[in-house]
Amino acid sequence: MTDDLLTLARDTALAAGELVKRRRAEGVTVADLKSSPVDVVTNADRESEALIRSILARARPNDGFFGEEGASGIAEQDAGTSGLTWIVDPIDGTVNYLYDIPHYAISIAVVEGTPDPLTWTALAGCVLNPASGELYTATPGGGAFLGEQRLAVAPAVELSQALVGTGFSYSSQTRAHQGRVVARLLPEVRDIRRMGAAALDLCAVASGRLNAYYERGLSPWDHAAAALIAREAGALVVGENGRPPSKEFILAGEESVVRALELRLLHFGV
């Protein structure tokens, strides 16, 4: 069953990827604002979600759906009756997409349960970067892949040698605090990367391009697929106080790096 779900997720992501890549070539403008003046949504976000939703509904009409944009541009949930829910980010990294920075993604996951990362069980996940064509996939116990290549996290390193990814909130007050944390962390690691697409950051952990990644404030669609991919590549993916990752906190990487980084972040008040 999980293989069939993954095939559907992959085929749907590829179809949406063609759409958003075409729209990017035609030119993109801001359609609306969400949580702040810098939290934008484009028409392509909405078109992508509508396409994904229609493909999934035709294939699996009884499944639930939870997408970032919704019909009115606001996240909304359809519960469904099958016990499965599709968690969708139609364009992760919309600001990158707006500026034509080729680092954005379509993220599609299917989970058993409700769209609550504290309780769901992820069954399949797919993350596609339409600009590069890189396609990440995973199923529980089936491993994580970039195309046909099986993925594994980078080997253990001392924290001082770790390349760490993070992201920032759309709230200016929260961003100011996050900046202070980064300023304290920076001298203690190899370097920091802030690339602007959480799903791709987690996939970078899975592929060994980052040693670790952390962030607060992610929504379920930001990490539903990519956390599974990172975990299947051997990463430890944790939330706050040992709980599963959620909006409160997510930290991923090789286990010893995660444990060392977690201590520093707690000390800095992340």
77 Rama sector, left if φ>0, alpha if ψ -120 to 50, beta otherwise: beta
Domain extent listing, the chain: 2-150, 159-268
Tell me the pLDDT band of 69, cut-offs 50, 70 and 90.
Answer: low
> Torsion angle of alpha carbons 129, 250, 217, 145, nearest 10°?
10
Mean pLDDT of 19-37: 86
Q: Hey, what are 18's tokens? A: 């063609």
Answer whether 2-150 and 159-268 agree in fold.
no
- % of the chain exceeding 90 in pLDDT: 81
Confidence check: pLDDT of 71 > 60: no
Give the annotated binding-site residues: 68, 89, 91-92, 222
- CB 91, CB 106: distance < 8 Å: yes
- Please give the CATH topology (third level) of the domain spanning 159-268: D-Maltodextrin-Binding Protein; domain 2 (3.40.190)
Give the annotated binding-site residues for Mg(2+): 68, 89, 91-92, 222
Higher-confidence position of 99 and 33? 99
Report how far residue 139's alpha carbon sits from residue 29's, in angstroms, rounded to the nearest whole number.
36
Confidence check: pLDDT of 74 > 70: no
Q: Which residues are catalytically annotated?
A: 68, 89, 91-92, 94, 222
147 Rama sector, left if φ>0, alpha if ψ -120 to 50, beta otherwise: left
> Considering only the top CATH level, what class is 2-150?
alpha beta
pLDDT score for 72: 44
Higher-confidence position of 248 and 97? 97
Confidence check: pLDDT of 263 > 50: yes
State pTM to two decimals. 0.94
Task: Residue 150: name the closest of 208, 198, 110 by CA.
Answer: 208
